[in-house]
Structure 1
Amino acid sequence: MIAITDADYLARIRDTAELAQSSKGPDSLVDRVCEHLTALLDLRACRFEYGTLTGHPPRIQQDGTVLWGRRRWDVERLGLPKEEVELLAISHGHFYGRFMLTPAPGSRPSLQARLVAVTLADHVGSALDTAATD
């Protein structure tokens, strides 16, 4: 089972990287990453907000941990928070937007799945950075 999961994670990263380098534009990449995040993290919904940071929702950090305010949320024990969780798209220190993730009840994505999610969001940040400089 672990080998299949690892292969699935790698396939999602490769698919995202290839799409990020294609000429289809960042909107199609954002849509694809939402699809991947929905499957990876067991979400009911995923949407992307360009260039906004409002409120203080729980956030998936670069190291895969989830912070809610200043407190670390125990995903392994409690699952993802029932509220929307944000995942930032950043490149070279510049914020481009965030994925807003609505977990399915009982969603408990592994640390490895959350790290893959961060990698996918980083690809979107890089693609948006490239599009901004073109």
Structure 2
Amino acid sequence: MKIPLRDTVAVAAAALAPFAAALVLLPLRTSVTHTNLALLLVVVVVAVSAFGNRFAGALAALSAAAWFDFFHTEPYQSFHIEDRADVETAVLLLVVGLIVSQLAARGRTMKRVAVTDATHLERLHGTTRLARSSTSSDDVVQRVRQELVEVLELRACRFEYGSLLGRPPRLDPDATVQVDGWIWDLERQGWPEGEIELRAVVHGRYQGRFLLTPEPGTVPPSLEARLVAADLAAQAAAALDDEVVNVGPRS
């Protein structure tokens, strides 16, 4: 399973940014107190945490404490500390860096969740508005197909009318994935191979199915994203059902 590029960059920054900052601060180590130097390194930890994740933040805190010890405490260029005050400063740098990194990562996560929730809500509202205003269920199906590609980060998605054929893996309305009658561990195993069906059902009536093709090796979408996908499929099913009631069965 691929690691997101942003996380890879964040981990690299967590290891290298405190080292670079400690080097840049070298000319100040005799004119600025060790406490202030440590605070400047905490700023670097916060920046890495805000960009990356909790692991990157924790790694940045450890890196900052280590390079503060190596470059800014006597004996220099050594991980040994002689002065007790410097020991306390290094420990506080590590502890404060860890705490601040987790808070920064949590804040970033909460912001991302809020933005994602708003995006999901707009997807559902936009599809609902189209379903109410459009005279063609095909327009709704195409809109849902496009939304599924985005919300589930798919390579492709197509809609199939008519009866069920075969037994491909299935994304159910409760966001679980079924493979041969068993619940697939999506978080640990990733998407199953091949197309995955998402049935368009309303009031117990089957209207068709979306066949999803995930990008190979990608991280599976969140539970919330999968639930939104199920709701979108239900909206397409409702539009198709209304057309059957008002016009007659699709030939």
Question: Which TM-score band applies after superposition, normalised by the shorter structure?
Answer: over 0.9
| Partner residue in 2 for 1:21 | 132
State yes or no: 1:3 paired with 2:114.
Answer: yes
Q: For 1:98, give the aligned amino acid.
A: R
The TM-score normalised by the length of structure 1 is 0.96
| Partner residue in 1 for 2:22 | none
| Partner residue in 2 for 1:62 | 173
Deviation digits for residues 16-35 of structure 1 (CA, Å, limit 9, x no counterpart): 11111112411111111111
Q: For 1:120, give the aligned amino acid.
A: L
Structure (1 or 2) with the greater strand fraction: 1
> Rg bigger for which structure?
2
Structure (1 or 2) with the greater helix fraction: 2
After superposition, residues 1-134 of structure 1 pair within 5 angstroms as 1-107=112-218, 108-134=220-246
Q: How many angstroms apart in 2 are the aligned matches of 1:79 and 1:5?
A: 21
Q: How many angstroms apart in 1 are the aligned matches of 2:134 and 2:155?
A: 29
Give the superposition deviation at 1:52: 2.5
Structure 2 gaps, min length 5: 1-111, 247-251
| Structure 1 residue ranges, 4+ long, deviating more than 6 angstroms after superposition | none
Q: For 1:128, give the aligned amino acid.
A: L
Residues 16, 29 of structure 1: 8 Å contact kept: yes
Q: How many angstroms apart in 1 are the aligned matches of 2:142 and 2:217?
A: 24
Q: For 1:75, give the aligned amino acid.
A: L
Residues 75, 109 of structure 1: 8 Å contact kept: no
Higher relative CO (Cα under 8 Å, sequence separation at least 6) belongs to 1
Shifted more, 73-82 versus 53-62: the winner is 73-82
Shifted more, 73-82 versus 13-22: the winner is 73-82
Q: How many angstroms apart in 2 are the aligned matches of 1:23 and 1:11?
A: 18
1:32 alignment partner, SS class: helix
Q: How many angstroms apart in 1 are the aligned matches of 2:193 and 2:145?
A: 18
The TM-score normalised by the length of structure 2 is 0.52
- Aligned residue pairs total 134
